[in-house]
């Protein structure tokens, strides 16, 4: 069975005032205006990470979170690990979980994506035939933090890229044999592509709450 990894290395620094509004805000113990852990932002009364875990647990045998441990993760059943060594960037997190797991493949998502879709994630899994990775590509833009990576080939490629000073996750998808899921295929699941929504600002957080399925 595949594993899942939530990359939680990023912190939001543009969330001043997110405590206003109904159903949208900061998780318990987070100060307004501070640099915040996006995994613990609340959308519709639940933290993003809680929403993600509830869905990913239905699809994956192991649940990893790559980043600093936090009391807010207590009780979620996550295996928390730090980034691999190397240049700054999300590739360090992907490399870390690929090295830590024994699962044949790892489903990687960003910690700031509140509306992951079971149908979209299952499409990634079903499309992993004869390739090393599967990822959305919308209008030419890859989505490496909503992608499925085969452990052995991607772990090797990630190590090579980090050793060469590259920390970007897109480079990994370009290095290995990747099947791209284009907009037309993704739109058949959700025309608005809500499952790719992420939040970095107060306005994006409020907008994400309005997208509730």
Q: What is the pLDDT along the chain (213 residues), one digit of tens a residue?
A: 999 999 997 665 555 544 433 344 544 444 444 578 899 999 988 999 999 999 999 999 999 999 999 999 999 999 999 999 999 999 999 999 999 999 999 999 999 999 999 999 999 999 999 999 999 999 999 999 999 999 999 999 999 999 999 999 999 999 999 999 999 999 999 999 999 999 988 888 888 887 766
pTM: 0.89
* Angle (deg, nearest 10), helices 151-163 and 91-100: 140
pLDDT 10s digits, 144-184: 999 999 999 999 999 999 999 999 999 999 999 999 999 99
Where does residue 75 fall: left (phi above 0), alpha (psi -120 to 50 degrees), or beta otherwise?
Answer: left
Q: Please tell me the distance from the alpha carbon of residue 27 to that of residue 84, in angstroms, as a whole number.
A: 27
68: β partners? none
Under 8 Å CB-to-CB from 87, ≥6 apart: which residues? 162, 165, 166, 167
Structural domains for the chain? 3-210 (3.90.550.10)
Alpha-carbon separation of residue 180 from 50, 74, 146, 154, 205 (angstroms): 28, 35, 12, 16, 28
CB 66 within 8 A of CB 56: no
């Amino acid at each position: 069975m595949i594993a899942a990894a939530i990359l939680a290395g990023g912190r939001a620094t543009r969330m001043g005032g997110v405590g206003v509004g109904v159903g949208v805000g900061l998780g318990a113990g987070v100060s307004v205006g501070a640099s915040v852990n996006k995994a613990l932002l609340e959308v519709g009364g639940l933290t993003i990470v809680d929403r993600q875990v509830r869905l990913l647990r239905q699809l994956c045998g192991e649940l990893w979170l790559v980043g600093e441990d936090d009391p807010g993760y207590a009780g979620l059943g996550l295996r928390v690990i730090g980034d691999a060594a190397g240049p700054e960037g999300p590739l360090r997190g992907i490399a870390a979980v690929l090295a830590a797991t024994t699962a044949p493949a790892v489903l990687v998502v960003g910690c700031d994506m509140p509306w992951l879709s079971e149908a979209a994630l299952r499409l990634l899994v079903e499309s992993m035939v004869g390739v090393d990775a599967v990822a959305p590509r919308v209008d030419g833009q890859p989505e490496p933090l909503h992608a499925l990576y085969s452990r052995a080939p991607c772990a090797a490629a990630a190590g090579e890229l980090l050793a060469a000073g590259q920390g970007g996750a897109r480079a990994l998808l370009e290095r290995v044999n990747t099947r791209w899921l284009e907009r037309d295929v993704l739109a058949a699941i959700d025309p608005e592509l809500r499952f790719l929504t992420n939040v970095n600002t107060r306005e994006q957080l409020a907008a994400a709450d309005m997208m509730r399925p």
